[in-house]
Amino acid sequence: MKRFAGPSDSLAGLATGFAIITGPQRRLGALQPRLGILERGGCHAVRTRIARGANRLTCVAHLLRRQTGTADQLQTHHHRESPAQETIHAMIARPRPCGCPETKRPFRVPSSDLPLRPGHPEDESVSEILVLYYSRHGATAALARQVCRGVESVPGMVARLRTVPPVVTTVHEPAPAVPDEGPPYASPEDLADCAGLVMGSPTRFGNMAAPLKHFLDGTSGQWLAGALVGKPAAVFTSSETLHGGQESTLLTMMVPLLHHGALLLGLPYTDPELGRTRTGGGPYGASHVAGLAATPGSLAASEQHLARALGARVAQIASRLGGGA
């Protein structure tokens, strides 16, 4: 897993990014007091708040440029802030009182798209589980977020949430490097950085969706390097109907993971919810049945539980194998 050399390197990059987006003079002046706290080993709540801002900085930069023009225009008209600019400025400038004790642990920018739970360790023993998915209408994305919650319920583990771009037959202009919303796009290097993998896709005629398959087809370099060898992995899916091909989708998603040398995990029947579910979820992995949902995109209680259980199981095995040590 990639790590920063120390607080100064991470904070220097963060300060540079904010200078590009909002103008160096005004924003860096507001940012300096917070940087001083972080460099002295600030409390967990403050470190996590700044870390989340740094993690989304690239996405915000692209969005701001699309909203208001170039970086020069942003600096010229900095008195007219967009809602995104106001959110970033408030996140840095507004102090957050908390009761966390000051620590001397090294600063680390997590790659999770979700906030760390209270009391989560922020030291060099923290490892990441890659939660990789493709979602067309949001149901698979909702499952992915529950998987992340399960991962981060395990001490020493955090989730790295990533998606893949859609595949189109005709291209009129290059696709953006950063999506308009949601988590960043995955890169093959994420496979090497993670301590485990949980992969999800909607069902397409009993198989995974083309965008996720397209991403996996581009990982031959990681296959040759053994990036996933010995790492725990699991899968999840969603479909419109109860018998819409969920089991075959889960099983076929496991095939490329076997080629990569991953250690495949499912859901054991020792979890009572697996025997009680009347919607999605089975021994091969977590799942969602959209046709039985109370509202579009909503997950049943059993589906949420089993998705969190799947994420927690992968994180626990990764920790036992040394990924969180």
pLDDT at 195: 97
C-alpha span between 129 and 317 (Å, rounded)? 11
Q: Which of 193, 183, 251, 199 is nearest to 222 (CA)?
A: 193
Predicted TM-score (pTM) above 0.85: no
DSSP-assigned beta bridge partners for residue 129: 159, 196
- Residue 79 tokens, joined: 């008195």
Q: What is the mean pLDDT of residues 273-285?
A: 93
Which range scores top for mean pLDDT: 39-48, 225-234, 315-324?
A: 225-234
Structure token pair of residue 258: 């076997």
pLDDT band at residue 115 using 50, 70 and 90 as cut-offs:
very low
CB 241 within 8 A of CB 202: no
202/240 Cα distance (integer angstroms)? 9
Per-residue confidence (pLDDT) for residue 37, from 0 to 100: 44
User: 3-state class of 146 per DSSP?
Assistant: helix
Q: How far is CA 174 from the centre of its chain?
A: 24
Delineate the domains of the chain, giving CATH numbers in brackets.
Answer: 7-93 (no CATH), 127-320 (3.40.50.360)
In angstroms, how far is CA 171 from the centroid of its own chain?
27
- How many other C-beta atoms lie within 10 A of the C-beta of residue 27? 22
